[in-house]
Structure 1
């Protein structure tokens, strides 16, 4: 059954495995932190302290994981001494039937990287509870998180607490969560907004409502496009509604949570997520610049929108089809299809070739500053009509032995062809490379 906004998902929602153990940048303003703190360059050991908090009658046992003294790489040490320094706060919300420990693959890397991570045990959706997912849809869990954030930040001035003076309370906070916890996270940006949030990473969430103008956050979505529990299209809708800066990391051919645990794309997930928080809360430009490489694998696709700096110009190129020796044109100022029908080069025949990493490229037309798209998932003709880059706007560059290039659309793994000797609009539907799929790449 399709998942619609604020529609119950059923009692199976949560984590199925928990019990087992150079970017494309848009022109929008960045919201990176203005923190005066230097981003840590070393990994930390991890300490953990437990706090028995509450919100009204709701008991909020919260385990706070933090950078600790000692050698990195081991298990969290209860009540270990806090490492020297001042650290930003990133809250983490578990999924249905989970707890902070079951989400160690997402909690521990944050603490190791220099974040204080409060992780509440939700009173009705953690392991051993009735699993009342209504507490997500009625806002209880999002409000629980706001309470946990308030209590955590208060420790910075609590006499005798080890975290006294160790929390950066000036740059806002981060929030993250998976599944039901991802929905809780998205709720803090929408129906139950918390203005303190500067960065958010909802994993496998569904759309919980319209964005609130009260929240200004950098938001990274992470989702498998074959998720049978939290519908991918609902997360894409949530993503589309939010203002930039934002990004969406898609794990292609993947379900609800495989990319979180060790193995399948776990490395890409964790690296992208941690560096997103480092950029957002430490103003770590090195982490920002690592994001494209972090996210890249043979089965991932990433959309970046107005993320960090002005747009990269790319290399100015024109494409001349070997089928007829004519240049590819963005017809009608970019509003029409791409056709190889021009004998000379002007703005309609010029494109910025933007390197997305991993052999991926995008083409931005000079006619209208829009990206070339393989319409209808590659079944339609190529059109320069998109303001951002996703799978339909991503192509793999193939360098042919004769010096020409071919373009393989990521969305369907088919080659771009100039049909009928170049007389018809370009389409991504060829399974092999021939003359009609070969182009001279002319720079300048």
Structure 2
């Protein structure tokens, strides 16, 4: 989907590049590992480097992981992996940064029992020209998906020290700051990765509409005086996502003070780590600590959270029969394809929950997949039952016609839903007037 909510970035992240040169690894299909209980101890940190790529894009990736040894020190190259099975949580650096410059957010995860692949993006890292279009065109989000695949593959890569130590069942986490935060949000929206179970975008802007293919617990962290990535854009992104979700606001903070040691850094790290522990280790004690984690003694933070998934609104079960051809509207291919009025009888694929919203507005939720019908591409595309939440694209005004039928006018473009000529075309919101092709009989049950 097109994205019209973009903010140009002018951030240069500080931090020197550590000289680390290790080895590459070949990809393999990941095999399931047993999900692990949340660790109760801190770990020392190891680091290994992999010379990966996606097509012509070089994706040097440093993986930080729980290691044997005494906690509290700097990462040790090629340190032995600690005993255990650990979830994966990828981290994306900001413009002009690298994994080392984001040590304050990467090391606490590895110490807490996460394997943290941190790619060096080829055009936005330190020493590059800073091509921020690689975030807007999806290259960096797709890079992260490649890194996730390669990391999961290490679990069955013969001879790799991480083999057998990766949790491949609990989903993966993703996080990032600034351009990296936008890269993270892109994985939930325009370039979705269904493997993601947890995400923490720091200082991001809204990269598009939430994808129905991703079911992640999402924590936003932002300063309300951020001059680089507008706070209002992150708030919009937060409002669009379904629960579970949370928003940690650093009041008076700009773009990154809360990332580094100092201003509210303690609250940032504690909340972020416990969010991942809850999401990827199913650690309910970590969930219950979140509010306290996020609270500052100087009252410079605001914590908002909806940690329980919202119950979907109920509605009347109906089928819609087109007046144009007397056929029922079908959520084709179990809701994967556009709606078409092409069925003589009503079965599971032809039944919808007619959900009353307010002031005559309704939403349609397909019974076959529990997804809401969406006027795709702001109404210029066909109607598809593919959304988990209701927004403007999923809202229709119900019009009661004098002949007992109804018509549906899409809120996003104020045009009527039509079945096309003789009802044979996919439904689309494209008509300014009501005729037989825009009229439907509601059949209950």
Alignment TM class, shorter chain as reference: 0.5 to 0.7
Aligned residue for 1:63, secondary structure, equals: strand
Asked if the contact 1:174/1:277 (under 8 Å) is kept, the reply is yes
Asked if the contact 1:89/1:167 (under 8 Å) is kept, the reply is yes
How much does 1:8 deviate?
A: 4.7
Name the counterpart of 2:307: 306
**Distance in 2 of aligned mates of 1:111 and 1:148:** 17
Name the counterpart of 1:411: none
How much does 1:309 deviate?
A: 11
Segments of 4+ in structure 1 off by > 3 A?
17-21, 306-310
Name the counterpart of 2:54: 55
How much does 1:273 deviate?
A: 0.1
Asked if the contact 1:5/1:206 (under 8 Å) is kept, the reply is no
Superposition pairs for residues 364-375 of structure 1, below 5 Å?
Answer: none
Asked if the contact 1:173/1:197 (under 8 Å) is kept, the reply is yes
Name the counterpart of 2:222: 223
Q: Say if 2:77 is the partner of 1:78.
A: yes
TM-score (norm 2): 0.64
Asked if the contact 2:34/2:85 (under 8 Å) is kept, the reply is no
Unaligned runs of 5+ in 1: 22-33, 311-444
Name the counterpart of 1:87: 86
Asked if the contact 1:65/1:111 (under 8 Å) is kept, the reply is yes
Query: CA RMSD, aligned part only?
Result: 1.9
Instruction: String of CA shifts for 1:285-325, please: whole Å, max 9, x gaps.
Output: 11111101000011000111134899xxxxxxxxxxxxxxx
**Distance in 1 of aligned mates of 2:139 and 2:101:** 22
Q: Say if 2:14 is the partner of 1:13.
A: no
Name the counterpart of 2:330: none
**Distance in 1 of aligned mates of 2:308 and 2:249:** 17
How much does 1:5 deviate?
A: 4.3
Asked if the contact 1:250/1:300 (under 8 Å) is kept, the reply is yes
Aligned residue for 2:226, secondary structure, equals: coil
**Distance in 2 of aligned mates of 1:152 and 1:261:** 27
Name the counterpart of 1:109: 108
How much does 1:162 deviate?
A: 0.2
**Distance in 1 of aligned mates of 2:17 and 2:60:** 22
TM-score (norm 1): 0.64
Name the counterpart of 1:151: 150
How much does 1:194 deviate?
A: 0.1
Q: Say if 2:300 is the partner of 1:283.
A: no
How much does 1:7 deviate?
A: 2.5
How much does 1:284 deviate?
A: 0.5
Asked if the contact 2:92/2:177 (under 8 Å) is kept, the reply is yes
Aligned residue for 1:222, secondary structure, equals: strand
Asked if the contact 2:45/2:110 (under 8 Å) is kept, the reply is yes
The 3 A distance-change label for structure 1 pair 245 and 92 is: same
- Give the count of matched residue pairs: 293
Name the counterpart of 2:269: 270
Aligned residue for 2:64, secondary structure, equals: strand
Asked if the contact 1:5/1:234 (under 8 Å) is kept, the reply is no
Asked if the contact 1:175/1:199 (under 8 Å) is kept, the reply is yes
Asked if the contact 2:7/2:205 (under 8 Å) is kept, the reply is no
